[in-house]
């Protein structure tokens, strides 16, 4: 069996390298002794027969409507994957497009696919900088970089976790992201899975469980994770967050 990881719209939704989260999942799966491949899906016709995990990166506002038009053709599949437990990671505008909708600064609105609760709304000024989140579900601290001109409202009941440094969803919520089952939306750029191996492994554990196999991180993952941990400690220090909170 080969794990198939779908990278949705990498030509449009990869401004911050977020589409490479798919490559992170595939690499960690191979290091665990599993067969894995990444399939780039730019059009519904590109969909493989089997989908084990999905990554949707962030794009520019100029590509929002084009990306939405393509994603509408995948609406039924996205909703089915979400209900069937296929792990889905959506970052930045990719997350916003899966929400109820996106309100733009010029007063226009773009209707989302309604997969995730909440909507993106304009904020006063862009926020850019380190983002650290105390996540639930044993994921510890998630680190990354946020760069967005919109806040996110309506996800208060199902965030990824509490903001330790940065803005996150904004509007004084103190929260970041949204999680509904195995579908995750986040402002964490990076790519986030390279900096947060526990999140990557949680997605792979879920994907493998659905496929009827077991995921155990390989020796190469342990080696690489030491580099990730060193980078995380530097970012936590820069953000003024104690590394002891990462548990």
Per the listing, tokens 């191979």 go with 30
Handedness of CA 178, 113, 115, 24 (dihedral sign): negative
| Spatial distance between the Cα atoms of 67 and 163, rounded to a whole number of angstroms | 29
Residue ranges of the binding site = 126
- Determine whether 106 is exposed, middle or buried from the number of CB atoms within 10 Å of its CB (0-12, 13-18, 19+): exposed
Catalytic residue, from 75, 148, 187, 189: name it. 189
Q: In the β-sheet with 178-180, what is the strand arrangement from edge to edge?
A: 35-41, 2-8, 53-56, 88-91, 183-186, 178-180
Please count the other Cβ atoms lying within 10 Å of the Cβ belonging to residue 157. Answer: 10
**For residue 129, what are the contacts with CB-CB under 8 A and spacing of at least 6?**
145, 146, 166
Active site residue 189: yes
* Tokens matching residue 220: 């190469």
Radius of gyration for the alpha carbons in the chain, expressed in angstroms and rounded: 17
Residue ranges of the binding site for substrate = 126
Catalytic residues: 189
């Amino acid at each position: 069996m080969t794990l198939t990881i779908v990278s949705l719209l990498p030509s449009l939704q990869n401004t911050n390298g977020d589409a490479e989260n798919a490559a992170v999942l595939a690499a960690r799966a191979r290091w665990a002794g599993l067969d894995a491949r990444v399939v780039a899906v730019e059009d519904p016709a590109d969909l493989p027969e089997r989908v084990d995990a999905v990554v949707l990166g962030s794009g520019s506002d100029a590509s929002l409507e084009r990306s939405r038009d393509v994603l509408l053709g995948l609406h039924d599949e996205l909703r089915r994957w979400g209900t069937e437990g296929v792990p889905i990671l959506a970052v930045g505008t990719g997350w916003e497009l899966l929400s109820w909708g996106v309100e733009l600064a010029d007063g226009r609105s773009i209707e989302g696919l309604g997969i995730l609760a909440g909507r993106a709304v304009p904020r006063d000024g862009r926020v850019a900088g380190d983002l650290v989140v105390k996540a639930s579900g044993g994921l510890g601290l998630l680190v990354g970089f946020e760069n967005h001109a919109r806040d996110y409202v309506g996800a208060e009941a199902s965030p990824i976790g509490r903001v330790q440094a940065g803005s996150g969803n904004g509007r004084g919520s103190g929260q970041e992201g949204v999680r509904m089952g195995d579908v995750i939306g986040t402002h964490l750029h990076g790519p986030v899975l390279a900096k947060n191996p526990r999140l990557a492994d949680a997605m792979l554990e879920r994907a493998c469980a659905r496929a009827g196999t077991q995921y155990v991180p390989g020796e190469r993952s342990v080696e690489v994770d030491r580099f990730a941990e060193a980078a995380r400690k530097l970012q936590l220090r820069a953000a003024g967050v104690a590394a002891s909170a990462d548990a």
